[in-house]
A and B are shown apart, each in its own frame.
Chain A
Amino acid sequence: KQEVTQIPAALSVPEGENLVLNCSFTDSAIYNLQWFRQDPGKGLTSLLLIQSSQREQTSGRLNASLDKSSGRSTLYIAASQPGDSATYLCAVNAGKSTFGDGTTLTVKP
């Protein structure tokens, strides 16, 4: 059974810092991995999708990497802003998606 772990569970940083969120999974037989953002009481917004054949994807200040063989993905956020404060979830898709519990990020002005 696929298990997805996100570390850390919570992270607080001052504005302007670069930061890395981690996601690990136990079964490398996946179609893709997707990073989402969730604001309190809201649905999930897709940030980046990495197909199993890809190593990384970039969108603006966000960069996600995938190392399928080691079962790891990272989400790098450059020059963090208070508006980045949210919970970040990764989901591993092997026919159906398995989600981590998320990392709650707080960026202090």
Chain B
Amino acid sequence: DGGITQSPKYLFRKEGQNVTLSCEQNLNHDAMYWYRQDPGQGLRLIYYSQIVNDFQKGDIAEGYSVSREKKESFPLTVTSAQKNPTAFYLCASEEGNTEAFFGQGTRLTVV
């Protein structure tokens, strides 16, 4: 089946540690996005990529990094510079400003 796969579903990070969240899609979409969701709030854009080997900062990029070496993959690294990383992270993809599809999310908790 076509879709977006995020892994892991749950992730625990120690203080000062970098962690990487995986996002893979087999929809052949050019554009991919990372969002952060805090309780009771909507989604805020972290980074997005319109094409392979290119990406742009979103509204809350500080403390995060991404890469887009392959069309189907858009991993997000939460660095130690992100002071409040506990949140629900969602990845999405779309083609040509049409319908966006989302993964099932990764819940990151700092321990």
Q: Which residues of B contact A89 (CB under 8 A)?
A: 42-43
A-B Cβ contacts below 8 A, count: 56
Q: Which residues of A contact B48 (CB under 8 A)?
A: 96
Q: Which of B45, B88, B90, B105 contacts A96 (CB 8 A)?
A: B45
Interface residue SS majority, chain B: strand
Interface size class of B (residues with CB under 8 A): 20 to 34
| Nearest chain A CB to B5 CB, angstrom units | 11
Q: Which of A43, A96, A98 contacts B102 (CB 8 A)?
A: A43
Interface residue SS majority, chain A: strand
Spot the interface stretch: B62-70, B72-80, B93-101. Answer: B93-101
Give residues in A with beta carbon < 8 Å to B.
4, 6, 31-32, 34, 36, 41-46, 49, 89, 91, 93, 95-102
Give residues in B with beta carbon < 8 Å to A.
6, 33, 35, 40-45, 48, 58, 88, 90, 92, 97-105, 107
